[in-house]
Structure 1
Amino acid sequence: MYSPPATDDDTRRMTAALAHAAAALGTTVHGPPAWGWHGRTLGHRAEHPVHGVCWLRLLSIPAQKAGGKLWEGTERAAPAFPRVRKPALHALHDWTADAYAYHAELTAYIDEPLLSPDPVLRHELALTDTWFTSIRTSLSAIAATPTDRTAVRQEWIDRAVPEYTGHPPPQITEWTCAHGDFHAANLTEGATVLDWEGWGRAPRGYDAAMLYAYAQLAPATAARIRRELAELLDSAAGRATLLVVCAELLQSASRGDHPELVPKLRALAEECTLPVSTAS
């Protein structure tokens, strides 16, 4: 869930850390806070004397886990995807205090509404043909990008798909680069793609499958996504990737996230295992 941390102490700690980051990066924050998944991140609109209106985003993890894929994702994405609509990166600031490591990113402010306040799409969208054209361009550019980063591993697929869907794990033969968290809360009405911390190699069509799976409570929009991204979703490989995404979201649901999506995900997982000729 996109919500504050579980404890008031963590809320105060993150709020104080964001104030530290703002001062270190020479910005003034204003407006309401924007909490990320279970309060792991905190974002604020900010003013910078050179860059103008910006977005300041803070990530916090225990100090012993600092670094690695999530830490460097936005920094490495900045030069890696020149053809993708995403916020420009202006500055970074890292520090450690009281057993926590902090990573702050100052990016351009995108003055475009999000498609949804959280990943699960609960209302229908009137997405334009132009929006889908831009998204297809971005998905193609992302998939074509070489990378040594990993978003999904076959070893995880082998464990998670049987555990959470009850079906044998697909053996993925097509791997491409993926954004890794491609859902309505990370996409704007202008087709800008946000939140680049977790990108890396994944089954082909992974981003399209995630967008579609998270949209199951808005059936008309989900059907439109399926039609517009059919090249990635409506094939044996595409259904295998959908099954992988269903397993991932069902794993998340087992930890208390988006329980209302579970029946739809189970139905989608069953559909993914049907023969090609009878799948919808």
Structure 2
Amino acid sequence: MRPSTTAPPYRAELSARVDQPVLSDDPILQHHVQLPGSWWADLTKALEKVSATVTDRVAVRQQYMDRAIPEFVGIPVPAVTCWTTAHADLHWANVTAPMRLLDWEGWGRAPEGFDAATLYAYTLLQPDTAARVRDAFPVLGSPAGLAAEATVCAQLLQTVSRGDNLILEGPLREWSEELRRR
């Protein structure tokens, strides 16, 4: 028997040290943050670049959406009008000021607006900042963003059902009510 001449696949990741502290020690924003307009502009610009990146990596699977959205949000699965590339773990413990995005191991294809919906979800305890997230990302609240919002809401309600992120349970249930009305 002849040995295989094909090498096993490997994946390398490059890490860089970032000196800026994250904006929160917890993914859930539990204190007020005052960020300049330039920070929000840098974030939207960075996410536009990410969304334009071509990849075959997958962050969110349609099969997950088909199961989780009806179960946890209580609505039929919204059609995904556009799949884009997402960071897929955008929360307050993964961003710094000046703006840098950290923790990239989960990036890949997701419904349009997924990163905005994720950041919004982790901001629900801070209504002023949550409103700022919605202002920065008009896809939230739009028909195009419904699939992403429902997916993120379902993901986090699933974590609540497992005993995690319990502090978000009330706001997530309110958000799911809003999604059901849309």
Is the contact made by 2:140 and 2:149 (CA closer than 8 Å) also made in structure 1? Answer: yes
Larger Rg belongs to: 1
Alignment partners' CA distance in 1, 2:87 and 2:16: 19
> How many residues were matched structurally?
175
Partner letter of residue 182 of structure 1?
L
Counterpart residue number, 1:255: 162
- Partners of 1:259 and 1:120 in 2: how far apart? 11
- Map of 2:135 onto structure 1: 227
Q: CA deviation at 1:171?
A: 2.1
The letter for the 2-side match of 1:259 is L
1:242 counterpart letter in structure 2: E
The one-character-per-residue Cα deviations of 1:220-258 (angstroms, maximum 9, x if unpaired) are 11111111112x213112133111100011111112211
Normalised by the size of structure 2, how large is the TM-score?
Answer: 0.90
Unpaired runs of 5+ residues, structure 2, are 1-7
Q: What amino acid sits opposite 2:35 in the alignment? A: L
1:154–1:172 CA contact under 8 A, matched in 2: no
Amino acid at match of 1:163: E
Query: Equivalent residue for 2:104?
Result: 196
Q: Distance in 2 between matches of 1:272 and 1:241?
A: 11
Secondary structure of the 1:148 match is coil
What amino acid is aligned across from residue 62 of structure 2 in structure 1? Answer: Q
TM-score by length of structure 1 reads 0.60
Runs of 4+ in 1 over 3 A off after TM superposition: none
The match for 1:272 among 161, 175, 179 is 179
Partner of 2:54: 146
1:130 aligns with 2:38: yes
For 2:143 and 2:149, the matched residues in 1 are separated by 10
* Residue 238 of structure 1 pairs with residue 151 of structure 2: no
Structure 1 CA distance for aligned equivalents of residues 136 and 107 of structure 2: 23
Q: Percent identity?
A: 49
Structure possessing the higher relative contact order (Cα contacts under 8 Å, 6 or more residues apart):
2
